[in-house]
């Protein structure tokens, strides 16, 4: 069975509502994705990223996941996100290729979303 590096930035992060999906997977540590904007879709309870500029960064976590778990995450993300290969950076400045989920929904849906300028999304601390 193969494994894929996956960068997560929202509900799959440790302590978030869907983090148990990755419980049996290998946590490789924090990572940052440069060049992507992070939005809080508050009314939906989860975030989204879109391509941005070099000034935008999204902070998250890097995992090595099994093909089975990757399939589960694909189903979870559904048609609103597309799985794309991106370049992430670890705290030790190591550059790696990983898969992540980029907003594939209607861009107008993001007009009411809040841009998360810090690049760090956390739902667990909200209501």
Question: Could you give the residue numbers annotated as active site?
Answer: 77
Rounded Cα distance between 85 and 120, Å, is 20
Burial of 55 (0-12, 13-18, 19+ CB in 10 A): exposed
Measured CA distances, 114 to 40, 87, 101 (Å): 5, 24, 18
Using CA atoms, how far apart are residues 80 and 124, in angstroms rounded to an integer?
A: 22
Question: What is the distance between the alpha carbons of residues 86 and 96, in angstroms, rounded to a whole number?
Answer: 8
Rounded to whole angstroms, the Cα distance separating 36 from 56 reads: 5
């Amino acid at each position: 069975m193969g494994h894929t590096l996956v960068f997560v930035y929202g509900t799959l992060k440790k302590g978030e509502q869907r983090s148990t999906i990755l419980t049996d997977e290998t946590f490789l540590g924090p990572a940052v994705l440069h060049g992507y904007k992070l939005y809080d879709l508050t009314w939906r309870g989860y975030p989204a990223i879109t391509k941005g500029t070099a000034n935008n960064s999204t902070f998250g976590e890097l995992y090595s996941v099994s093909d089975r778990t990757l399939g589960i995450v694909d189903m979870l993300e559904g048609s609103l996100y597309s799985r794309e290969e991106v370049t992430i950076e670890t705290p030790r400045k190591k550059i790696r290729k990983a898969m992540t989920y980029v907003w594939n929904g209607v861009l107008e849906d993001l007009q009411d979303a809040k841009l998360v300028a810090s690049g760090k999304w956390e739902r667990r601390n909200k209501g």
